[in-house]
Amino acid sequence: MSITAQAATPATGLTSAEVEQRRRDGLTNDVPERASRSVRDIVKANIFTRINAILGVLFILVLATGSIIDGMFGLLIVANSAVGIIQEVRAKKTLDQLAIVGQAQPVVRREGKATKVAPQEIVLGDIIELGPGDQIVVDGQVTESELLEVDESLLTGEADPIDKTVAAPVMSGSFVVSGSGAYRATKVGKDAYAAKLADEASKFTLVNSELRNGIDTILKVITYLLIPAGLLSIYNQLVSSKESWRPAVNGMVAALVPMVPEGLVLMTSIAFAVGVVRLGRRQCLVQELPAIEGLARVDVVCADKTGTLTENGMRLSEIRPVDANGVGTALALPSAVSGAVDGESSSGGGELAQVLAAMASDDPRPNASVAAIAEALPDSPGWKPSGVAPFSSAKKWSGFSYGEHGNWLLGAPDVLLDPNSETAAVAQEVGAKGLRVLLLAGSDRPVDAADAPGQVTPAALVVLEQRVRPDAKETLDYFASQHVSTKVISGDNAVSVGAVATSLGMAGGADPVDARTLPTDQNELADVLDQKTVFGRVRPDQKRAMVSALQSRGHTVAMTGDGVNDVLALKDADIGVAMGSGSPATRSVAQIVLLDNKFATLPYVVGEGRRVIGNIERVSNLFLTKTVYSVVLAFLVGIAGIGSQIFHYKAIGYPFLPRHVTIAAWFTIGIPAFILSLAPNNERARTGFVGRVMRLAIPSGLVIGVMTFIAYLIAYKGPDVGETAKIQAGTTALITLLIIAVWVLAIVARPWNWWKMLLVAGSVVGYLILFAVPFTRHFFKLDPSNIALTTAAIICGAIGVVLVEVAWWVSAKLHGETPHLLPSPPGEND
């Protein structure tokens, strides 16, 4: 049942006693800080898995035979669960800490004082102040309105902002576009309209991930293959092989264990979790896990200028009065400004400075430009405004009416002025230097009139300096080197935007496009976007249309921004990236928040995504190759076993003990996969993950399975021979398997560099030690002493290596890829 405020609350807000009473009554906004899994849920999810269940049953069967050594694979259950829990808990702590830092903090009025609080601290009846870009965090009713406009598109789909007058309802999940005001909280916690939506939106989730979806698809196929392969192995070991029940069960378990890709999901989780922690150290909050993967696939970055390429802070550079003779000499700052405020300027600067000081002082929610003016002109004349027109991205100006002191506008010169006027030309010339230029102008009617601004009389050009971020050029150069196109999309004057882009070495900076000339047709707009890179005077709806046009041409688009005018484009982009200092609305819809406000962090996010995707693809090759050869070998042995029943030749048991399949995975999959999953990798992400993985795993698995079976047939003398002969036959098959599997590892590790070569060499050395040391030979039941059989195993392995190598080259050629043995081009870090 909804809880609605009944009594009116004074404009001063609740008292401390009233707040405390509401908390005791449970009338708080008790929504979770972040919809991440609890530690208890993480532990349960990592222990009670399908793979652990399969391995657990097989482990119990092996223990029943009394062979504890062959149950070593049971350690995988502990290792999988422990590593998964540790990594996910680390990622959870990192995310939760960053989420608190990046959390929107509404301004609540209590006992007449405005204070920032966490959304969870709001209680029923609180008065919450609003300004441009603020999120509405609970449902409420407007108590104060200064031309308040709210965008509810994230909830209702309605694109146009809605005027909110006193007593109008507001819904949580919407945000303020322009104006200011306050509202009383009437529904809090789970009763609020968007509580469930917000809960879902803030989840740290794996949905819509091509990588995870691909792995799920592969696991489903493997599950279907496991059923017939498992049944065939069970029948062969318990019926056809003529073995006693203990070795029969061990053989059955040895056949089934390697079919389960026990480390694939684990390595995927580890790679993502480590990525989150690494990015967290760079003050990058990943609100949705697929964002790491998604940004690695991005081929177009749409960057806002202000706050992204330039720093948020500005400085008032000069005020140039405009009179009948044109644009006058600039007033020197700051000393001349203080004199102008005192009325000492002979050029009309005194009145102009007073007007600017009054407008800056009376703006309840100043943007960066107005804040810079307020800092330079702190002495307001104290005029009382009779009319207010707040700034909005659509009209590009704000205004105040001061009765006898006039109606004043502050906004974009190219919007308010005749483009053919001398003043407009001067503003264009100044803006071409990369400076921000605003026009202070008088109007012949109140600024809040329906037909405002009316007739505009220019009074002064207000020039502000923007500081280009020192790391912006390096970041743009990185994207260019990675074949990622960058589009600068800004609401500022096109020439000014172009000047900033040119200073950063961007192609197209000298030929900026004024968005007011852009076509509305999506195809025509996409054509322009393909050819041009710098756009100015872009409206919020145009930013959204530009993102959609780029996506219509098959591009994966990332949008960066920090202002309320970026919200809709951020929401529609494949990946939305918000600055930590940006408006709460932008941070709420973005998948990635750069808490340190550094555009230069984006390359690290792209690099982390590429590392995750590329390495998981490599690791998947290893695990799935093992699954394929295990299924193939189980089918071959099973079919041979059935054939022995029909045609009465010697029965064939499974060649390996469970301990053999355990050590086979140590140096060909387990340790190398862990290292490869965390290694540097800057290969560009591509679609088609499942197809590429199976192109290597299926032929490699087939070759390993068939050649291992052939080597086993050569060495196998029947079920009635002595224990030594059985061990030698199994060893022969194992040697063949290991030779080809190590070569598959070498292929997966390509292009080779020093540490990858060392990794492959280390795997070879590891197996040589296992076969050479008497203790390990005895412990793992290995016997390579039969020279003839060992030679046959090596020959079978060599043939398998050639076949796998040929399959790799042929597959690459058929799919138009150029295989590389060594890193290429030089200097590229793979």
Residues involved in catalysis: 304
Count Cβ atoms within 10 A of the Cβ of residue 343 and give its class: 0-12 exposed, 13-18 middle, 19 or more buried.
exposed
Contact 643, 242 (CB under 8 A): no
List own/partner pairs for 64-68 with CB under 8 A and 24 or more apart.
Answer: 64/249, 65/245, 65/246, 65/249, 65/250, 66/246, 67/246, 67/250, 67/657, 67/658
- Return the percent helix, strand and coil in the chain, to nearest 5: 55, 15, 30
Report how far residue 562's alpha carbon sits from residue 323's, in angstroms, rounded to the nearest whole number.
36
| Eight-state DSSP code of residue 513 | E
Residue among 37, 32, 47 nearest 91 (CA): 37
The first and second tokens of residue 570, run together, are 């951020």
Could you tell me the sign of the dihedral formed by the alpha carbons of 658, 659, 660, 666, in that order?
Answer: positive
According to DSSP, the residues that pair with 314 across neighbouring strands are 466
Report how far residue 373's alpha carbon sits from residue 357's, in angstroms, rounded to the nearest whole number.
7
| Amino acid (one-letter) located at 499 | A
Other CB atoms closer than 10 Å to residue 820's CB: what's the count? 13
Q: What's the per-residue H, E or C state across 298-362?
A: CCEEEECCECCCEEEEEEEEEEEEEECCEECCCECCCHHHHHHHCCCCCCCHHHHHHHHHHHHHH
Count Cβ atoms within 10 A of the Cβ of residue 377 and give its class: 0-12 exposed, 13-18 middle, 19 or more buried.
buried
Report how far residue 183's alpha carbon sits from residue 125's, in angstroms, rounded to the nearest whole number.
9
Q: Which regions of 421-498 does DSSP assign to beta strands (E)?
A: 436-443, 456-468, 485-489
Residue with tokens 């509305």: 520
Count Cβ atoms within 10 A of the Cβ of residue 307 and give its class: 0-12 exposed, 13-18 middle, 19 or more buried.
buried
Residue 171 backbone zone (phi > 0: left; psi -120 to 50: alpha; other: beta)? beta
Q: 689-715 and 723-748 helices cross at what angle (nearest 10)?
A: 150
Report how far residue 188's alpha carbon sits from residue 124's, in angstroms, rounded to the nearest whole number.
6
Which helix (DSSP H) or strand (DSSP E) does residue 408 occupy?
A: strand 407-411
Residue 827 backbone zone (phi > 0: left; psi -120 to 50: alpha; other: beta)? left
Which helix (DSSP H) or strand (DSSP E) does residue 113 occupy?
A: strand 113-116
Which helix (DSSP H) or strand (DSSP E) does residue 42 occupy?
A: helix 39-47
Report how far residue 330's alpha carbon sits from residue 352's, in angstroms, rounded to the nearest whole number.
12
The first and second tokens of residue 29, run together, are 């906004």
Report how far residue 303's alpha carbon sits from residue 573's, in angstroms, rounded to the nearest whole number.
12
Find all residues with CB under 8 Å of 213, minimum gap 6, and list them: none
Contact 131, 183 (CB under 8 A): no
Question: Cα-Cα-Cα-Cα dihedral of 415, 418, 422, 425, to 10°?
Answer: 40
Contact 185, 125 (CB under 8 A): yes
Contact 391, 365 (CB under 8 A): no
Contact 461, 413 (CB under 8 A): yes
